[in-house]
Structures are given as C-alpha cells and as structure tokens.
Amino acid sequence: MQSAKRYSNTNFTKRVDHEGGAKREEMKHASPAICSHCDAVYDAGRWTLLSAARPELKSRKWSESEKVICPACKQKQSGVAGGYVSISGEFFGRHREEITKLVANETTRAREANPLSAMIREYVENDVLKIETTTEHLAERIGHALKDAYDGETDFDFSHENKVVRVRWHRD
C-alpha cells in the first residue's frame, strides 16, 4: 500500500546533498581570526562578535595574516540569500518607520546570537519592503516578530530541505 505522504523515511534516508558543501570553507581558519569586513571573530571553532569575544581578543592588535572574510560577508558579496522577507499592505505604508526599526532591532538581536545572521540588502519595490538575509533563521525571526507585534497575515514558504525560506507579511 502506497502512502499519501509527500515524504517518507525512505525519501529522507536516501536523499542526496545537492549542494555538496558548496558554502563550506576549504579549510578551517586558524584560530583566532577576525573578519576584515564586520569584525566577527573566529575563535575555537566558532564565530562570535568582537564585543562578545574573550577579553584578550577584544584588545588584541590583529595582524594581516589573521584577517579573513567570514561566511556571512562572503555570502553578501556573492548575493546568495538564505531568506527572503516581503512586507506589504496599507499598514506598512502608514507605519513604515516603526516596522523598519523593528526589523533592524531583530537583525541586531539575531546577530548577537549568531554573527553569521545578517541582512544582505533591503529595498522597496512597488510599495513592498523586500529584505534578503544570509540565513533562513533570520527571515523566520523577522516574520515572527512582525506577526507578534502587529498581527497581520504571515506566510512561511520553505524550500525543499529547508535551505531557503520566503516570508510574506501583509496587513491592510
């Protein structure tokens, strides 16, 4: 008997990694290292903000050999987004400044938790605010924050294997 489920355990256990580590670095960075674009610090296998790094790293004088480009900055340069957010409706038109501040605050909070969560770009097209993010988690976070703060209709559309999310928020 065939299942009506779109995905089954068989599909998941036999799925192929289509990206094959395309976003991964060739080698692990030497620790410690600092991003020359955003001041994120790579230390002991993790990226953290310089403000949250160990005290001896905060006051350190970084040599050129210790400066690298973090994955988020590389993603910004390539323009490949992990999440897309679109904000629309009459409510957005009337409360544009409030909503953009809420988005900026959520981006700052997400970056404190994960320095690789960042906004790639933000622009307005046909009275719709469009935001591209480096991670799908930041796009989700912005969508949930809009829903919690202003209600409205929120739609989360995940791609296959949850690599990219499209979030649409609308309120008239």
- pLDDT digits 0-9 by tens, 41-64: 888 888 888 888 888 888 888 888
Query: Which is it for the CA torsion 112, 115, 116, 121, positive or negative?
Result: positive
Q: Give percent above pLDDT 70 in the chain.
A: 83
Quick check: 122 pLDDT over 90?
yes
Comparing 23-37, 83-97, 102-116, the range with the smallest average pLDDT is 23-37
Q: Quick check: 99 and 92 in contact, CB under 8 A?
A: yes
- Does residue 29 or residue 77 have the better pLDDT? 77
Instruction: Give every CB contact of residue 62 below 8 A, 6+ residues apart in sequence.
Output: 34
| Mean local confidence (pLDDT), 110-135 | 92
- pLDDT score at 131: 95
Name the region of 90 (left: φ>0; alpha: ψ -120 to 50; beta: rest). alpha
pLDDT digits over 9-27, tens only? 555 555 555 565 555 666 6
Domains observed in the chain: 29-69 (no CATH), 77-170 (3.30.70)
Cβ proximity of 142 and 60 under 8 Å? no
pTM: 0.78
Percentage of the chain lying above the pLDDT 90 cut: 43
Query: Higher model confidence: residue 64 or residue 167?
Result: 167
- Tell me what the mean pLDDT of segment 55-81 comes to: 86
Question: Do 68 and 102 form a contact (C-beta atoms < 8 A)?
Answer: no
φ, ψ of residue 111 to 5 degrees: the values are -65, -30
Give the lowest-confidence range in 42-46, 84-88, 110-114, 141-145.
Answer: 42-46
Q: Is 113's pLDDT higher than 60? A: yes
pLDDT at 35 over 60: yes
Rounded CA gap, 96 and 39, in Å?
30
- Mean confidence (pLDDT) of the chain: 84
Residue 9, pLDDT score: 57
> Alpha-carbon Rg of the chain, whole angstroms?
19
